[in-house]
């Protein structure tokens, strides 16, 4: 279809289409489509990413000046955040220099420090690190001495994180305002996933020129990104996270051994189900080139059922960049419930939700 004849449905999908193919970038005269693209990109935290994609394809000249100003602002904001995160990584390294342990960067900080393509233009708000569980007390104490303080003071919140979750309560620096999440594994222990966290540390790769930091091995990085997205209750930035997965798969697939390693690792870490959703959604939404035999194997290993197919349909709706569509709104609500269900068994979940409900009633208006 010619680019100056976009249908209303095309305009709703213009952000996804512009990420996937050069031919889908709206004609400069189609301001309605550009307004939709900019609005959806801002909601999805993808303004900088879109600017990067268009620049790589030499298409910025096709962008109307008003839209280009928004895209460049998004790229500048991402660049400023990159510089801030690099400074924060140096501060964290100084704070933890006396601890003899592996410090593994996760998510956005890992992509940035490792120089991965998905870091370009990406927005993120905190630093995530992974350390062995026995070292948590020393890591937390060192961070507190360096000016980080917990952000969750209620005794129940402290118990929730320290007893049931895979991370400490988030910590925020008292002067800089920066936030760090300290993980000891990548899934909640209450989720029922049989994940050997030690295997993540054994395979972690040390970054050159950035002591003392490590990043997850390529297959583990993809599996963590998939788990973070598809086991999560918050789908507000799902399209950004799926874009991460798309870029990671494209980058790592340049090694012919990657797909075999990814399948093997999914089995070892008991993460076939989130990988199944990641491969289906990435290939279906962003046209990520995934070998057919890999998708078939993931479908078989994840035990494709009516429930998983329904979840996949909800995910496809939730990945839309705007909640104006009622289907997107309801999909995100249902996936919010599912995300909590996956975190803990039903009795514990019922107790948790009851406590949260009573606490909301006690909070001042």
150: three-class secondary structure by DSSP? strand
Strand-pair partners of 182? 129
Q: Which two tokens stand for residue 139?
A: 């890591």
* Mean pLDDT to the nearest integer, 338-359: 75
Task: Please report the pLDDT score of residue 261 as a whole number.
Answer: 97
State the Cα–Cα distance between residues 302 and 281, nearest whole angstrom: 14
State pTM to two decimals: 0.90
Ranges of each domain in the chain: 83-216, 217-365
364 pLDDT band, cuts 50/70/90, is: very low
State the Cα–Cα distance between residues 26 and 188, nearest whole angstrom: 43
Is 361 a residue whose pLDDT tops 60? no
What DSSP character marks residue 153?
A: -
Is 9 a residue whose pLDDT tops 50? no
Cβ–Cβ under 8 Å, residues 262 and 219: yes
- For residue 172, give Cα distances in angstroms to 47, 89, 140, 149, 169: 26, 14, 12, 5, 10
Task: Please report the pLDDT score of residue 7 as a whole number.
Answer: 40
- For residue 211, give Cα distances in angstroms to 92, 104, 132, 183: 11, 11, 17, 19
312 pLDDT band, cuts 50/70/90, is: confident
Please list the alpha-helical segments (H only) found in 13-102: 14-20, 31-43, 47-56, 65-95
Query: pLDDT per residue over 237-281, tens digit each?
Result: 899 999 999 999 999 999 999 999 999 999 999 999 999 999 999
Q: Which residue has the higher pLDDT, 347 or 31?
A: 31
Task: Please report the pLDDT score of residue 194 as a whole number.
Answer: 84
Is 170 a residue whose pLDDT tops 90? yes
132 conformational bin, left if phi > 0, alpha if psi -120 to 50, beta if neither? beta
Task: Please report the pLDDT score of residue 362 as a whole number.
Answer: 57
Query: pLDDT per residue over 91-146, tens digit each?
Result: 999 999 989 999 999 999 999 999 999 999 998 878 999 999 999 999 999 999 99
* DSSP string across 163-222: IISSBPPPEEETTT--EEEEESSSS-GGG-----HHHHHHH-EEPTTSTTEEE--HHHHH
Q: Which residue has the higher pLDDT, 36 or 360?
A: 36
Q: Which two tokens stand for residue 170?
A: 């988030």
Preceding amide of 323 cis, omega within 30: no
Query: pLDDT per residue over 65-100, tens digit each?
Result: 999 999 999 999 999 999 999 999 999 999 999 899
- For 257, residues 6+ apart whose C-beta sits below 8 A from its C-beta are none
Question: Token pair 């990988």 is at which residue?
Answer: 275
Average pLDDT, the chain: 88
Is 5 a residue whose pLDDT tops 60? no
Task: Please report the pLDDT score of residue 12 as a whole number.
Answer: 54
For domain 83-216, the question of CATH label 3.40.50 is answered with no
Is 199 a residue whose pLDDT tops 70? yes
State the Cα–Cα distance between residues 250 and 195, nearest whole angstrom: 26
Task: Please report the pLDDT score of residue 6 as a whole number.
Answer: 40
2 pLDDT band, cuts 50/70/90, is: very low
Is 4 a residue whose pLDDT tops 50? no
* DSSP string across 268-314: HTT-HHHHHHHHHHHHHHS-----HHHHHHHHHHTT--HHHHHHHHH
What is the torsion angle, in degrees rounded to the nearest 10, for the CA atoms of residue 128, residue 134, residue 140 and residue 145? Answer: -130
Q: How many CB atoms lie within 10 A of CB 323?
A: 17
State the Cα–Cα distance between residues 111 and 241, nearest whole angstrom: 12
CA atoms within 13 A on the CB side of 323: 12
211 pLDDT band, cuts 50/70/90, is: confident
Cβ–Cβ under 8 Å, residues 94 and 148: no
Task: Please report the pLDDT score of residue 360 as a whole number.
Answer: 65
């Amino acid at each position: 279809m010619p680019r100056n004849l976009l249908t209303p449905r095309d305009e709703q999908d213009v952000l996804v289409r512009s990420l996937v193919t050069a031919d889908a970038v709206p004609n400069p005269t189609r301001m309605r489509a550009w307004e939709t693209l900019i609005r959806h990109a801002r909601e999805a935290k993808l303004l900088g990413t879109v600017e990067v994609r268009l620049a790589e394809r030499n298409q910025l000249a096709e962008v109307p000046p008003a839209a280009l100003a928004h895209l460049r602002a998004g790229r500048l904001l991402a660049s400023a955040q990159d510089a801030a995160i690099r400074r924060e990584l140096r501060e964290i390294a100084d704070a933890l220099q006396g601890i003899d342990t592996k410090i593994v960067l996760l998510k956005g900080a890992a992509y940035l420090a490792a120089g991965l393509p998905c870091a370009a233009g990406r927005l993120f708000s905190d630093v995530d690190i992974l350390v062995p569980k026995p070292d948590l007390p020393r890591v937390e104490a060192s961070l507190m001495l360096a000016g980080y303080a917990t952000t969750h003071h209620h005794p129940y919140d402290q118990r929730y994180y320290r007893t049931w979750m895979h991370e400490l309560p988030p910590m925020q620096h008292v002067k800089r305002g920066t936030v760090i999440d300290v993980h000891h594994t990548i899934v909640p222990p209450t989720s029922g996933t049989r994940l050997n966290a030690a295997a993540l540390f054994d395979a972690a790769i040390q970054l050159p020129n950035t002591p003392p930091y490590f990043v997850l091995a390529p297959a583990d990085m993809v599996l963590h990104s998939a788990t973070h997205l598809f086991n999560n209750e918050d789908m507000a930035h799902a399209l950004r996270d799926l874009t991460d997965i798309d870029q990671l798969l494209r980058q790592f697939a340049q090694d012919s051994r990657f797909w075999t390693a990814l399948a093997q690792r999914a089995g070892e870490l008991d993460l076939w189900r989130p990988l199944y959703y990641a491969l289906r959604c990435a290939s279906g939404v962003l046209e990520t080139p995934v070998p057919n035999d890999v998708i078939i194997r993931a479908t078989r290993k994840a035990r494709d059922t009516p429930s998983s197919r329904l979840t996949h349909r909800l995910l496809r709706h939730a990945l839309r960049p705007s909640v104006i569509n009622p289907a997107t709104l309801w999909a995100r609500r249902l996936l919010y419930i599912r995300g909590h269900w996956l975190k803990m068994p039903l009795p514990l979940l019922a107790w948790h939700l009851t406590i949260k409900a009573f606490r909301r009633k006690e909070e001042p208006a």
